[in-house]
Each structure stands twice: as structure tokens, then as C-alpha cells.
Structure 1
Amino acid sequence: MIYSNNFRRSAQSLAVVSAIALFGAMDTAHAQQPTPLGDSAMVRLIRGLMQSGTLTKDVGEALLAQAQTEAIAAQQAQRQAAAPTAVAGGLRVEPGDVRVPYISQTVRDQIRDEVKGQVMAQAKTEGWAAPNETPEWSKRIHVEGDMRVRNESRSYSGGNSNIEINWGAINEGSGFDVNPTTNLALPSLLNTRQDRRNQLKARARLGIFADITDQTKAGMRLASGSDDSPVSTTQTLGGGLGKKNVWLDQMWLSHKPQEWLTITGGRFGNPFVSTDMLYSNDLNFDGIAAQFDKTLANKDISLFGTLGLIPLEYSSDSFPSRSQDKQSSENKWMLGAQFGANWKLDKENSVRGALAYYDFHNTEGQVSQPCALYAGAEACSTDWSRPAFMQKGNTLMLLRNIALDPANPANTPQPQYVGLASKFQLIDLNLRWDTKVAGYGLRLDANYLRNQAYDKAKMFAHAQGGIVNNFGGTGGTSEADFQSGGNAYSVQATFGKPSPAARGDWNVLAGYKRIEPDALPDGFNDSTFHQGGTNAKGYFLGGSYAIDKNLWFTGRWSATKQVFGPPLAIDTLQLEFNARF
């Protein structure tokens, strides 16, 4: 064991120091009972410590020389004690007497101090000298975590449409048969009218982070969650008191080749400056991100930026699984670039601005080649293009071009998947102003998003007539009946401490959002506002108060409705008790 070896070394070192300190006493003992040099306990001790590495060779040999000198001196003193008194004018010299040099107390003290200093330096390096000290490697690792308990209530308007299809559930299954002759059942539908009151939820996150070197760091974090949703780590309680799931939420390595540049790879927190209108606060990113941060000479302005290569999804290597002819790889990516600046105007005012571009590559749905499912085909060629995760709001299209059975075309089942009808190439502008009002902090945030790729005519042409949602109240499904848009914006004011940490810290906030259906992908934003997704507008109010260090209460209320389409109004109240460590 490492600690037993260190203890043994410590004991040996202390023995050396004690032995040197007691040289005077040993002289007397040797004078009474002389011991041959080769057999003395001191010599054996010193040689043993040299062999174990506790004493260096030069220090050990010096101690051996001193021990030999003192042993000879002790023997000579014994003989002199038994001899006649010295004659006048000098000492009586007997045959066989040996003259030895004298080692002063100062030299002995110096040797003792050198040995002691060497032993203590080794003990400090290895971390075993002091019982309250920890090994050096443990000082480079730290643990962080947070806990949250939430009571959530959702209220739905009695005038809401009761036909809101759960498209995500359709994509997760074997598809929905759209042929009314072979399927009379409704698709999976969302709840839109029955309230959900006082649902208890909880969240737990625990991260371990290591400073490998001054330039290289690593991190890993575990998190709770009812499922593998990328936008929420909240666990709904209940479930028959069954145990809850734990997910690997983060795992990353980062390196700083320059003081102003950090490169991170793996699964990591959001590297972009953004609001939860685009990316949920619980969302983590897979891939590689390069971040730079440079303070200018006057120290009042700093520049920052991020480049990100984010893989969203890879098609299966063995698709279709029961076919000898496999499909080529199809990959979905998000490429992001952002540039911004912080400017400290004076002691009470600072502003931040950031402009970003996000290109979601190959995420739109694709109409398949004709596929003869009736003849035993297990899949169609573009099944890969359905989203891996979706909430609600985006315009959707049918993916499968299903061939009909010539022997019985009317009764051919037609199980369909859906994909995104629009491409997404986003311009994202974020602005923030921090100031003081009556001695308290005031933060104003604004976010504007525009999907540069939104084009209604191109969407209908690309879908080949297969658009399935976001039509108005007329009941028609033509392009003239279609309602959508590619813009989104949000504003928020926060008065007080934006992030309560010390006892007595508080804040209140208010804001408004408006997100048109195809302004952004609906799978990555806040899962609370309008229960996630796009095609939503409404206001929100909230506040927090810290009752102790890193311990605070939060309340938040949002009232939302759909921007286009049938009515869907949802009010959400969340009361939370939070802690971090």
C-alpha cells in the first residue's frame, strides 16, 4: 500500500533524526559497552535507509563516516580511562593508539538539518507528512452539483382544439396508416383540455471535473430525467415509487492552445450565447466547439466567438436490417458560428451583443422512392429523414411514397412517417444591457431570430403535396390555406440579482415571446413555454429569493397560445426549491 510505505519511510526518517540528535548519549553508551563498527545498530540502520532510498548516498556515507569516527573515539576513550594518568608535558601514548579528527557539534547539527530537510521535502511532495494533507492529484479534481424539487400545474382552456396530433409518437412507432379503408383509428393525440395540477418533479445533476494540466481539462456529469429528451433533465415523481433513471449528461475534454482559445470535444454545455427561445437551458451539444475570448487593451471591451460542428444524427450502418443491399450513410449536422462583444460603459452600465448563424444541414424530410411495403419491404428509402426528437409546431410532411398492391389497391395499408418540411438556416441576434436602478440591478434581454431558408412555395414543392399541418380554420389543405412564418423574438426584464447565490438575494422578471411555426427547429428549445416547440406566443412572470447561501425558491408563471391554427391556450405554474454545491 502507498500509505503504509510512506508511513514506514516517515518512521525511518524520524529514527535518523533522533539518532543524530542522540549522538552524544551514544558516545557515553559506547564508552561503557564498545561495539565493533561493523555490528553497530547505527551502522545497520544507516545502511538500511540508504538501500530503501530514504537517505541519499552522499548523506548516508557522511553519517557512516561520523559513526566510524565516533566508534573509534569511544574505544580510545575506554583504553585511556584504564591507562595511567598522563605524564607531565603531554598524554601517554600507548602502542596501537589511533589519532582521529574531531567532528564539531556545529557540523553534526548541519548534517541533521540537511537530513531533516530532505525527508520533509519528500514527505510534502508525496503528501504523507501531515495527516490533514491530501495527495496532490486530488487537488486537481472538484465536484459540482445541483438539486431541484418542483411543483408544476398546467391549465388548458376549455375552448382548445381537441385534435392535436402527437407526431413524435407516430415517428417513434411503426408509422400511422393513413388509408381510411384499412385504419379507422385516430392517431396518437395530445391532451389539450384536461388540467394537470400539482405534479411533483425533481432534478439532480452531479459533475466531476479535472484540471489535467493548466491548459487541459476534462468533465463528466450525470443527470436525472424521465426519458432521453435532450431538452429536459426533470424527473416526474410517482410511478409506483419505482427507482428513477440516471443519464450520462456530459462527457468532454477541452484544451487551450492559446490563452484566448479553448477547443472542446465530446458532449458539453451550450457553447453559444443564446436564450431558451432557441436552445433549452438543459440542452447539451455533441461534437466539437472552438471558443475565443479576447480582452482589448483598454480592458473595457472584450470580444468573443464560437465555431461549432455539431452532429445531430447518423443513419444506421445496417439499414435496412433485412436487406442484402444497405443504404449509404446519411448524416445530419448543425454548423454554428457566432461573434460578439462585451462593453463596460461605466461602473453601472455594460452591454453585450452577439450575432450567430446556424445551418441545420440535411434535417429536412425527403420523399422516398416508391416502396412496396405490401410485398414485404421493411422500410422506405427516406425513413432516416424523420427527426430523432421533436416537440410540436414545425410544418411537417409525409415521407413515404408507398406503392399500392395492384391486386387490391384500395385495401393497401399505408403506414406513414413525417419529417420537417422546411430547411433551417438561422440568423440569431442577442442583446443585453445591465444597469442599476435605485441601487438594484436591472437586466434587459432581447433576442431576434429569422429562418433565412423559410419559403412556403418551396416547402410545398419539396413535399410534393404531403404537408399535413399548420393550416387555418377553413378546413382546406391547399397552399392558400397554409399559415406559418419564419420569425421569432423574445424580450425579458430582470430586476435584482439575475442569479441569486447569497442569503437575501432576490429577483423578479417579466417577458414576452412570439415564435412562428418554422422560425427554428422545434426539438431544442424550452420545454416549459407552451409545453415546448414553436407556433407559440405569450408572456411569463417569475421571481426568486435566496433563503441561504446557494439555496433559493423560484416561482414562474407563463400564459401562452398558438400563433396560427386551431386554438390552443396553456397556462403553466412552477414553484421550485433549488440548491447547488
Structure 2
Amino acid sequence: MKHFFSTHERRAVSQVCALLLMGALGSAQAQTAPPANETAMVRLIRGLIQSGTLAKDVGDALLAQAQTEAMAAQQAQQAQRAPVAAAAAGSATAASALQLQPGDVRVPYISQTVRDQIRDEVKGQVMAQAQAEGWAAPNETPDWTKRLRLEGDVRARYESRSYSGDNNNIQTDWASINSGSGYDLNPNTNLALPPLLNTREDRRNLFRARARLGVVADISERTEAGIRLASGGDNGPVSTTQTLGGGLAKKDVWLDQMYLSYKVVPEVKLVAGRFGNPFMSTDLLYSADLNFDGIAARFERTLANKDMTVFGSLGLIPLEYSSDNAPSRSQDKQSSHNKWLLGAQVGLDWKLDPKNRLRGAVAYYDFHNTEGRLSDSCALYAGADGCSTDWSRPAFMQKGNTLMLLRNIALDPLNPANTPQPQYVGQASKFQLLDLNLQWQTQVAGNGLRLDGNYIRNTAYDAAEMFARANGGIVNNFSGTGGTGIDDFRSGGNAYMLQATYGRPAPVARGDWNLLAGYKRIEPDSMPDGFNDPTFHLGGTNARGYYLGGSYAIDRNTWVSGRWVATKEVYGPPLSIDVLQIELNTRF
């Protein structure tokens, strides 16, 4: 098989050979001639191959090229010698004493100074060409690889979930209803119960795992791009944890992040795409695994005394776009109904002294157009393809929010008692949140102590407005006496969290540790139930309880951790859930 060299490879090898030949010429004035069909260059290449200086495939290719060139040169010399052969014969006798004998080679003398100068010039040319073309630095990596950063983490978890035997066992799985074709409320046409959540049977010895791998590219000093893949049992936004098992089937991988960021000025950065949480917050409101779609701006500036930093964020986050083709089997399509999260936050990071630091922020989040809407009258019995407000059901929900029926279903005048009434549900409350965060870091007995507090108030919470919007269609969050009026309604618009962490909050070096304890109370309509921590009360709102935990680093960036979470309902039928998690984590 032929070996083809690029131009710079042939040039480099030739120049190296020249250097080696110069050294060889300087070591002797004359030596035994090679065979008639073999030049000095051919012998030199053979010697380099035998000594291991040249790789065999490279040497063989050079050897073939040198032999070809030698044969061509011999033929040219023979053609040039023919015309002068007669003239040369006349002087043969006179020059016989000086003429080379067979087997001798004439080698001109080159001084050491000249040899050194030629070697340095050739070496300089080779190195300059190598640096310019980037092919002769074996320990140097291409420039584009220096601008890429890999980051990721892997977690293995053991989990058990315990339910009280006194729990109410009629907890409707509204998310399942909304993801299907609706639940028929007419007992004359449907005798089956709706999908129900498990509330009494423990789930022990669950093995679960999470893996995330991201690549960040520093395009320039101002521009950055990132892509991250993550595991996950479904496409829900609040968790990338995958439950193992499933017959040893392969696990899913999702596109978890994809973003571009641009630093407008040193203090302001814009980010667009799908990116990490741009706001200072806790998992009371936003799960630690939650990412945001859309565009956000971040501001951060250190004040003149260098002990205070002002920061802030603005976000325009699309939550859901209505379908372009709804209703799918109708010539008349619905207008656009899009849902948004508009967020704004400002905060201060204040270094009080070497041992004390205070960080706080106030934020306002407007979940625009997310509340449920009662539809126009829709004659499903006559073949209508859905109802006008089916779009207002949440794209993702956990549990806890007050819900309302969305469809105003017309009855078949020929058979009203047996008209099916498949229903969807939507959030009865609007959500406009005031979010206050405060964090204090200090030292106690030589170790760090961090106290976190988070308070949230839904300023749009209004029970009377919710009942008016639903027109009698509220379906949950009642006292349990059987009444469904506003006097029997139990909800609220406040939530708060308190947490203490002693030790190092994020273990890094071997031997780092921490202990933590906290308490949360989340009233049913204090926030949308679809975005917060999926472990506390197994996600959602209408929950209160405490949690205890700790971590210990067994190696660099590798730690074990455990957490016990005990929760129950704030209002309504009893629902007590305890969760134990033991984890092995690593990051890179």
C-alpha cells in the first residue's frame, strides 16, 4: 500500500535528513563507496530505518522515492557524459595519478562553524513551519480544545417511601386525567373510579440513579455556549433521577440544557435557550434539577468598598404554547393562548467581616395566563373536537393546587341523562408571587454555619375569585365534611422554609462534612405545584414537615449523604408520607 505525504511532511523529513547527512559528512573525509546502484542518500535512509530513527512505513516510502530519483539522475548523467567522452580520453593518462579509483568517493570538507550555521538555519526553518502549521508539537493540543470544558456528576441512590395506614385512600391523580382523554363524571355512563394516587402501600428498597454530562465552549471572552445531557424516567421538569430495574432495559437520556450566553458589559450577561436557574431561590419554589427555557439577563456589580455586591436577574420564560392545529379535526382553529413566567429579582451580597456574610434577595414572579378557564358550551355528543379552554390545563403538575373543571359540556337533548361528560381540570388560582430569600453564613466552634430562610406569598390568592371563575366547579381542597361550598374550602397563599447547615455546605475535599435540619410549610395555592422539590411530600403543595440530613466526603469530590423527610398535609384529608434517601455522589 502506498504512503502519501502532505507537502509539509515531505519537506520536514527532507530537512531532517539533511541535518543528519551534514553530521555524517563532518565525521569523515572519505569512506567506501556504495554499490553502483545505491546512492549515499539511499544508504542513509536504510541506516535510519535500521536504527529506529524512522518508522518503517515512512522509511520505506522515502527509500522508494530516493531510489527512483537516483535512477533518474544516473540516466541524466550518462546522457551528459556521452558528448565529452572523447575529450576526456585524451587527458586520462595525465590525470591518472589524481583520478579516483573504483570504490572511492570524493567528499568536500565543510568546517564545523559552517556545519553549525547550516544546522541552526534548517532547524529554525523547520520549527517555524511546525509552529505555523501546528503539526510538530507532540505535547501541544489544538487551540479549539483549550476552549472546551467538560462538567458532570453521577449519583446512586437508595430510597424508601413510607405511608401512614390512616391516610385517605381517595386521592385523585389529576395529572393522569389531564394527560389522557379526560374523566367522564356522569355516573350513568361511567362507573369506574378516576386514576388514584397510592397513599397507603409502602415502597421499599428503590434503587435510583442520576447522571449528567455537559460541555461548555468558551467561544470568546464574551460568548459562551453549553449543552448538557441528563438521565430521567420521564420528561417532567423537576427531576433527572431514573428508577432502576425495568427488566434491565436501557435508560433514557434527555437534552437537559442548551444555551448561548453573551456578556454585554462585564456586569451584565444575557443567556438564551434552556439554562440553569437564573434566580437566587431554594427548592421550596424551584427544584434543584429544574431548568428554564427562554431568555434571562443577569447583573452583578461589586461596590467601591468591595465588601458588597449588588446582583439581579430578569427572565422571560415561556411555559407553554398552545397548539397550532387545535382543534385537530376542525376547520376553525383556536387563536394563540401562550403561558409565560415573568420574573424579576434584586439582591445584595454583604461580607460583614471575615467570619460573617449576609446574602438576601427579593423577587417577583408573574405566572401569566396559567389559571384555568371555563369553556364555552361544547357539544361533545355531536362530535365537537374538544372544548375552547382545553389549552388552559397545566402542562405539568404534581399535586396540591386547588383545581377546577374546565369544560362546559352541553347535554344531548335527546338523551341528557346519558350524555358522557369527560372533564379536564385547571388551576383555580392565579399566581403572582412575592419571594423573599435570606442567607447568613458565620462560624461556630471553628466550623461553618449557614442559616437559610425563604418566604413566599401569592399576592393573587383570592378564594372568592377562584369560586367565581370556576362557577361551582372546584373539585378539591375541602374540609372533608362532604360540603363543596366556599365555607368548606381550605387553602392558603403562603409558604416558608427554615434551614440550618453546620459544616461545609458543599463537600469537596476528603473529610469535609455537614449536618442539616429544616422545616417547610407550603399552603395549597402559595405557588404552582409543578416546579418544586419532588422529594418533600413527593412533590407539590399542601404539605408541611421537617427533614434531617448530612454528608461526608470519602474522596475528592465524592461524598455519601443521607436524608430523612417526614411530611403531612396542611389542609384536608390525612396524607402522611416519610422518605429515606441514602446516596453516593461524585462530580467532575
How high is the TM-score relative to the length of structure 1?
Answer: 0.84
CA–CA distance in 1 between the matches of 2:426 and 2:369?
Answer: 11
2:69 maps to what in 1? Answer: none
- How far the C-alpha of 1:130 sits from its partner, in A, is 2.9
The offset of 1:563, in angstroms, is 0.5
Question: Are residues 1:194 and 2:197 paired?
Answer: no
Please tell me whether the aligned partners of residues 126 and 135 of structure 1 are also in contact (alpha carbons under 8 angstroms). Answer: no
Q: After superposition, give the CA deviation of every residue in 1:180-223 in whole Å (9 maximum; x if it has no partner).
A: 11111111000111111111111111111111112111111111
Tell me which of 231, 236, 257 is aligned to 1:224: 231
Aligned pairs for 1:22-41 (under 5 A) are: none
2:470 to 456, 463, 474: 463
Measured in 1, the distance between the counterparts of 2:302 and 2:24 equals 62
CA distance in 2, matches of 1:247, 1:6: 44
Once the two structures are superposed, the pairs formed by residues 395-474 of structure 1 within 5 Å of their partners are 395-474=402-481
Determine the structure 1 residue equivalent to 2:566: 559
Contact 2:26 2:112 in 1 (8 A): no
Q: Give the one of 212, 218, 222 matched to 1:211.
A: 218
Aligned to 1:117: 124
State whether residues 3 and 128 of structure 1, in contact with CA within 8 Å, keep that contact through their aligned partners in structure 2. no
Match of 2:151 in 1: 144
Q: Any idea what the Cα deviations from partners look like across 1:230-249, whole Å, max 9, x if unmatched?
A: 00111111111111111111
Other-structure match for 1:268: 275
Q: Taking structure 1 as reference, are residues 514 and 133 closer, same or farther at Cα in structure 2, changes over 3 Å only?
A: same
What do residues 151-179 of structure 1 show as CA deviations (whole Å, max 9, x unaligned)?
11111111111111000000000000111
Note the C-alpha offset of 1:312. 0.5
Equivalent residue letter for 1:308:
G
Change (3 A) 1:381 1:20: farther
CA distance in 1, matches of 2:276, 2:502: 26
Alignment deviations for residues 446-497 of structure 1 (CA, whole Å, 9 cap, x no partner): 0010111111111111111111111112210001111111110001000001
In percent, how many aligned pairs have the same letter?
Answer: 71
Q: 2:247 aligns with which of 240, 245, 254?
A: 240
In 1, distance between residues paired with 2:481 and 2:546? 28
SS at match of 1:483: coil
Structure 2, unpaired ranges of 5+: 35-39, 42-93, 96-109
1:25 positional shift: 7.7
Pair 1:142–1:566, CA change in 2 (3 A): same
Work out the CA distance in 2 between the residues paired with 1:310 and 1:272. Answer: 12
Shift of 1:577: 0.8
CA contact (8 A) 1:392 1:522 kept: yes
Stretch deviating more after TM superposition (133-142 or 270-279)? 133-142
CA contact (8 A) 1:218 1:253 kept: yes
Matched residue count: 522
State the secondary structure of the residue aligned to 1:457.
Answer: helix
Report the CA distance between 1:134 and its aligned residue.
1.9
Distance in 2, matches of 1:108 and 1:230, equals 72
Q: How does 1:250-269 map to 2 (within 5 A)?
A: 250-269=257-276
Let me know the Cα RMSD of the aligned residues: 2.9
Which segment drifts farther, 5-14 or 175-184?
5-14
Choose which of 315, 329, 333 in structure 1 pairs with 2:340: 333
Partner of 1:60: none
**1:84-133: CA deviation from partner (whole Å, max 9, x where unpaired):** xxxxxxxxxxxxxxxxxxx9987885665455334324434544323232
Q: What is the distance in 2 between the residues matched to 1:325 and 1:490?
A: 48
Q: CA 1:111/1:260 → structure 2, altered by over 3 Å: closer, same or farther?
A: farther
- The yes-or-no answer on 1:379 pairing with 2:381 is no
- Alpha-carbon distance in 1 for matches of 2:112, 2:350: 68
Structure 1 gaps, min length 5: 34-39, 42-81, 84-102
Question: Which stretch shows the higher mean deviation, 298-307 or 167-176?
Answer: 298-307
Q: From the superposition, tell whether residues 2 and 400 of structure 1 become closer, same or farther in structure 2 (CA, over 3 Å).
A: farther
Q: Note the alpha carbon deviations across 1:225-280, whole angstroms, 9 max, x for none.
A: 11111001111111111111111111111111211111111111111110001000
Aligned equivalents of 2:570, 2:457: Cα separation in 1:
16
**Counterpart secondary structure, 2:314:** strand
Q: State the SS of the aligned residue for 2:409.
A: coil
Q: Which residue number in structure 2 is paired with residue 185 of structure 1?
A: 192
Contact 1:126–1:136 under 8 Å retained in 2: no
**1:156 — aligned with what?**
163
1:576 counterpart = 2:583 = yes
Question: How many angstroms apart in 2 are the aligned matches of 1:212 and 1:111?
Answer: 43
CA distance in 1, matches of 2:142, 2:219: 15
One-letter amino acid of the counterpart of residue 548, structure 1 = D
Deviations 1:63-99 (A, max 9, x none): xxxxxxxxxxxxxxxxxxx99xxxxxxxxxxxxxxxx
Which residue, out of 497, 501, 504, partners 1:494? Answer: 501
Give a deviation string over 1:507-557, Cα, whole Å, max 9, x none.
000000000101111000000000000000000000000111111101000
Q: Which amino acid letter does the alignment assign opposite residue 262 of structure 1?
A: K
- 2:13 matches 1:11: yes
Contact 1:10-1:129 at 8 Å conserved across structures: no
CA distance in 2, matches of 1:446, 1:571: 23
Shift of residue 297, structure 1, vs aligned partner: 1.9
More displaced 10-residue stretch of structure 1: 283-292 or 122-131: 122-131
The code of the aligned residue for 1:240 comes to G
Aligned-residue offset at 1:17: 4.9
Letter aligned with residue 313 of structure 1? E
Give the match for residue 60 of structure 2: none
When residues 495 and 122 of structure 1 are mapped into structure 2, their CA distance, relative to the original with a 3 A threshold, is farther
| Structure 2 partner of 1:89 | none
Aligned to 1:297: 304
Alignment partner, residue 524 of structure 1? 531
Query: What is the SS of the residue equivalent to 2:388?
Result: coil
SS of aligned partner of 2:365: strand
* Distance of 1:271 and 1:127 partners within structure 2: 40
Among 132, 135, 157, the alignment partner of 2:139 is 132
**8 Å CA contact retained: 2:259, 2:275:** yes
Do 1:127 and 1:136's aligned partners in 2 also have CA atoms closer than 8 Å? no
The 10-residue stretch of structure 1 (233-242 or 120-129) with the greater mean CA deviation from structure 2: 120-129
Between the aligned partners of 1:250 and 1:263, the Cα distance in structure 2 is 16
Any conservation in 1 of the 2:393–2:425 contact (CA below 8 Å)?
A: yes
TM-score (norm 2): 0.83
8 Å Cα contact 1:231-1:526 kept in structure 2: yes
Quote how far apart the aligned CAs of 1:359 are. Answer: 0.7
1 CA distance for matches of 2:15 and 2:440? 63
Q: Secondary structure at the match of 1:566?
A: coil
Q: Secondary structure at the match of 1:345?
A: strand
How far the C-alpha of 1:3 sits from its partner, in A, is 9.9
Cα distance in 2 for partners of 1:117, 1:303 equals 54
Give 1:287's aligned amino acid.
G
CA distance in 1, matches of 2:129, 2:149: 25
CA displacement 1:267-300 (0-9 Å, x = unmatched): 1111111000100001011111111111122211
- What SS does the corresponding residue of 1:240 show, helix, strand or coil? helix
In structure 2, C-alpha distance between the alignment counterparts of 1:17 and 1:263, rounded to whole Å? 56
How much has 1:142 moved relative to structure 2?
A: 2.0
Mark the CA change 1:262 to 1:106 in structure 2 (over 3 Å): closer, same or farther. Answer: farther
